[in-house]
Amino acid sequence: MPRIPGGEITPEKLIVIGEVARDFGLYTKITGGQRIDLFGARVEQLPLIWTRLVDAGFESGHAYGKSLRTVKSCVGQSWCRYGVQDSVRMAIDLELRYRGLRSPHKLKSAVSGCARECAEAQSKDFGIIATANGWNLYVGGNGGATPRHADLLAQDLSDAELVRLIDRFLMFYIRTADRLERTSVWLERIPGGLDHIRDVVVHDSLGICEELESLMTAHVANYRDEWTETINDPEKLARFVSFVNAPDTPDPVVGFVPERDQIKPDLPLLTIGHRPLEGSAQR
């Protein structure tokens, strides 16, 4: 899955994704995070696909890692009469800043250009909603099996203030959360909850904010795209085969069948038995 910061993409890049999907016979689907899934590639095809995408200006979207996934956005004040800030620009800036950031669990974000909240920012680990005076920052939200509404951490922030608080919040979470612990669970578990996090992140009650900011600065400076590094490393490329002792042989078990003008995995159909509801007729 290639990264599409803020969900913004040019026609030229859309065409490249379509051509890659067509040439390699991939299944395509638009995701809830405003990206485009490409499914069905064989392991030996991945470097070829990544090369095509990297040459077109794409990079890894970290679709499966415990890291930042996406920063969704509405169209903001550029295209919506209700927008009060440029939510697309902010979403792109944040996604490019935090891309590749490894964390205890996945991180999702969104930026809404007004209080109508079209980007659903309050269901994210950190969400931003525009105001007439700047940005409101919400933290600790998520969907999933146990949805949680995010809490307001700070309001009417400037661009610089917003980024600084997100830097601190994310690094404090990364340094103190347990493995596989979402921000929502961490926020409710940590002693003092939101009030403590606000004291630490906003008011620097522990005197660690300079360190947290420094850690994020180092992350931004040292970011590398895994796709680019892989296709430029012969040793890593050698791993992309189905069989080590037969590198030119594709896995015969991997197969696909057509569905709705695309493909899906050719898996045995599962027979799911069911018991009729009490009082209903047996059919």
Confidence class for position 280, pLDDT limits 50, 70, 90 = very low
CA–CA separation, 78 and 111 (whole Å): 14
Which secondary-structure segment (H or E) carries 241?
none
Query: What is the separation of C-alpha 60 from the centre of its chain, rounded to a whole number of angstroms?
Result: 11
pLDDT at 196: 98
Between the CA of residue 39 and those of 43, 224, 256, what are the distances in Å?
11, 24, 11
pLDDT at 244: 86
Mean pLDDT of 224-239: 96
- The 3-class secondary structure across 145-205, one letter per residue, is CCCECCEEEEEEECHHHHHHHHHHHHHHHHHHCCCCCCHHHHHHHCCCHHHHHHHHHCCCC
278 has pLDDT over 60: no
Mean pLDDT of 252-271: 83
Confidence class for position 253, pLDDT limits 50, 70, 90 = confident
pLDDT tens-digit readout, 152-177: 999 999 999 999 999 999 999 999 99
pLDDT at 65: 87
Task: Supply the pTM of this predicted model.
Answer: 0.91
Mean pLDDT across the chain: 93
N-terminal to C-terminal alpha carbon distance within the chain:
44
Residue with tokens 């991997």: 254
Residue 137 DSSP SS3? strand
250 has pLDDT over 90: no
pLDDT tens-digit readout, 166-222: 999 999 999 999 999 999 999 999 999 999 999 999 999 999 999 999 999 999 999
Residue 79 DSSP SS3? helix
Domains defined along the chain, listed by start: 1-60+225-246 (no CATH), 66-223 (3.30.413.10)
Q: Please name every residue paired with 28 in a beta bridge, in sequence order, or none if there are none.
A: 38
CA–CA separation, 101 and 81 (whole Å): 34
Minimal CA–CA distance to 62: which of 96, 34, 100? Answer: 100
- Both tokens of 137, joined, read 């920052």
pLDDT at 127: 98
